[in-house]
């Protein structure tokens, strides 16, 4: 039966070849009336072309971004405005900082993204807030990870964290989009590319507009408006277990084609399952090295991994003779240099 399932998917003569689990299942029901959908899916997880090109979704339930209190949790980012710097006193970047609880946005213009300037802008924002936050979320760029910013955060005992998931700092990135859209509309209306004179007025307008994420105007939010939900034992269905081999969803651009490979060639292993709504997972690579960040069910697809299986080689880096055996140092397709390994030359297939 399993061979027939694989043949139905890989034999181009069949109408269900290289389509989906549902089509293969429907095609084989005439021959195997008691065949279950789950069994077809399990068998196809052993087929590389199926797991690499399986559809993945970008929209699915994620953990909510919740702030403990007013100005305790911030997200920060740099907006590149270099396109308009000649008309705006050489202002090249905008440091955007948003309070997760109130959604109040702060924006400071910068002529460069050097550490000293970024740190000074953060200090000004902290003065405007009247206190310092407990934690600041940013990406892992050097504009945040430098001596000047680190010293400022250390002085005020602020924790700097860089999420490793695809969305990173989603709240401030959405605020950036709102800010850039309003500035673009203003510049079109004014028939000029100078925005610096009205920048803070635009920010004030954003802070006085209802934020759809919280349903209120940021300037009207007070401590206690959004009580932190009490954790409970309810959880969504847990699809994977510790030890399962999986591929990770590949990052995609806005116009990437749906038919292109949507999952990593490299295979990973589930190392921890965290029940909840939604369920999240930690993974390690096949060498046991931890992969930073958490992964949602929709960001993982189960596959089969065999240490003695056949895998694609990206390039041969070096050759040697060891104890009379010719060996090649190979770079495996889809893997980093840390996975380079020596294999007997006789085991390499030329297809």
Q: Which of 156, 151, 135 is nearest to 76 (CA)?
A: 135
Handedness of CA 100, 174, 282, 273 (dihedral sign): positive
Full residue range of the structural domain in which residue 243 is found: 233-307
Q: What is the mean pLDDT of the chain?
A: 85
193 in the same domain as 80: yes
175 in the same domain as 151: yes
Q: Which of 8, 298, 20 is nearest to 166 (CA)?
A: 298
pTM of the shown model = 0.65
- Could you tell me if residue 225 is inside a domain? no
326 in the same domain as 261: no
CB-based burial, 93-120: b 16+ in 10 Å, e otherwise: bbbbbbbbbbbbbbbbbbeebebebbbb
204 in the same domain as 87: yes
244 C-beta neighbours (distance < 10 Å), count: 18
Question: Which of 177, 192, 220 lies at the terminal end of a domain, its last residue?
Answer: 220
How many domains, the chain?
4
- Could you tell me if residue 27 is inside a domain? yes
36 in the same domain as 86: no
Summarised one tens digit per residue, pLDDT across range 111-161 is: 998 999 999 999 999 999 998 999 998 888 899 999 999 999 999 999 988
More confident residue, 322 or 67: 322
Give the range among 87-101, 187-201, 234-248 with minimum mean pLDDT: 234-248
Q: Tell me the C-alpha distance between 24 and 42, whole Å.
A: 12
Question: Which of 220, 249, 271 lies at the terminal end of a domain, its last residue?
Answer: 220
Q: What is the CATH number of the domain that holds 335?
A: 2.40.50.40
What are the tokens at 214?
């919280």
Confidence of residue 71 (pLDDT cuts 50, 70, 90): confident
211 in the same domain as 193: yes
- Could you tell me if residue 227 is inside a domain? no
334 in the same domain as 271: no
205 in the same domain as 114: yes
Q: Tell me the C-alpha distance between 350 and 311, whole Å.
A: 12
Summarised one tens digit per residue, pLDDT across range 7-53 is: 999 988 899 998 989 999 999 998 889 899 999 988 898 888 888 88
- Could you tell me if residue 124 is inside a domain? yes
Q: Hunting for tokens 């602020």 — which residue is that? A: 158
Q: Tell me the C-alpha distance between 291 and 293, whole Å.
A: 7
Q: What is the CATH number of the domain that holds 135?
A: 3.30.420.10
Q: Hunting for tokens 């004030």 — which residue is that? A: 204
Residues in the chain: 351
Q: Residues 64-91: what's their mean pLDDT?
A: 87
237 in the same domain as 338: no
216 in the same domain as 95: yes
Q: Residues 206-216: what's their mean pLDDT?
A: 89
Residue 255 confidence (pLDDT) above 50 = no
183 in the same domain as 84: yes
The answer to whether 171 and 98 are in contact (CB under 8 A) is yes
Q: Tell me the C-alpha distance between 180 and 117, whole Å.
A: 21
- Could you tell me if residue 249 is inside a domain? yes
Q: What pLDDT is stored for residue 257 in this prediction?
A: 46
Q: Tell me the C-alpha distance between 344 and 351, whole Å.
A: 17
Q: What pLDDT is stored for residue 67 in this prediction?
A: 67
157 in the same domain as 87: yes
Q: What pLDDT is stored for residue 256 in this prediction?
A: 45
- Could you tell me if residue 78 is inside a domain? yes
- Could you tell me if residue 58 is inside a domain? no
Order of strands, edge to edge, in the sheet holding 313-322?
313-322, 325-332, 341-344
């Amino acid at each position: 039966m399993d061979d027939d399932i694989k043949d139905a998917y890989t034999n181009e003569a069949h109408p269900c070849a290289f389509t989906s689990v549902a089509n293969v299942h429907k095609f084989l029901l005439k021959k195997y009336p008691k065949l279950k959908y789950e069994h077809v899916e399990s068998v196809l997880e052993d087929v590389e072309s199926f797991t690499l090109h399986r559809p993945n979704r970008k929209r699915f339930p994620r953990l909510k971004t919740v702030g403990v209190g007013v100005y305790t949790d911030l997200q920060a980012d740099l907006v590149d405005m270099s396109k308009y710097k000649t008309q705006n006193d050489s202002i090249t970047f905008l440091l955007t900082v948003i309070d997760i609880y109130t959604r109040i946005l702060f924006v400071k213009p910068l002529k460069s993204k050097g550490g000293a300037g970024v740190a000074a802008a953060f200090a000004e924002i902290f003065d405007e807030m009247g206190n310092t936050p407990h934690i600041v979320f940013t990406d892992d760029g050097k504009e945040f990870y430098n001596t000047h910013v680190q010293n400022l955060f250390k002085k005020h005992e602020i924790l700097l964290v860089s999420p490793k998931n695809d969305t990173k700092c989603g709240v401030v990135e959405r605020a950036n989009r709102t800010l850039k859209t309003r500035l673009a509309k203003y510049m079109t209306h004014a028939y000029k590319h100078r925005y610096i004179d009205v920048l803070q007025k635009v920010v004030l307008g954003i802070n006085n507009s209802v934020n759809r994420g919280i349903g209120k105007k940021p300037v009207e939010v007070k401590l206690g408006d959004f009580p932190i939900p009490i954790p409970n034992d309810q959880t969504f269905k847990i699809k994977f277990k510790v030890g399962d081999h999986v591929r990770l969803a590949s990052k995609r651009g806005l116009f990437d084609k749906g038919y292109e490979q949507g999952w990593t060639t490299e295979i990973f292993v589930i190392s921890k399952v965290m029940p909840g709504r939604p369920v999240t997972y930690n993974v390690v690579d096949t060498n046991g090295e931890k992969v930073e960040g958490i992964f949602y069910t929709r960001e993982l697809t189960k596959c089969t991994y065999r240490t003695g299986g056949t895998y694609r080689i990206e390039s041969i880096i070096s050759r040697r003779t060891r104890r009379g055996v010719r060996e090649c140092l190979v770079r495996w397709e889809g893997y980093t240099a840390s996975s380079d390994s020596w294999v007997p030359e006789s085991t390499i297939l030329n297809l």
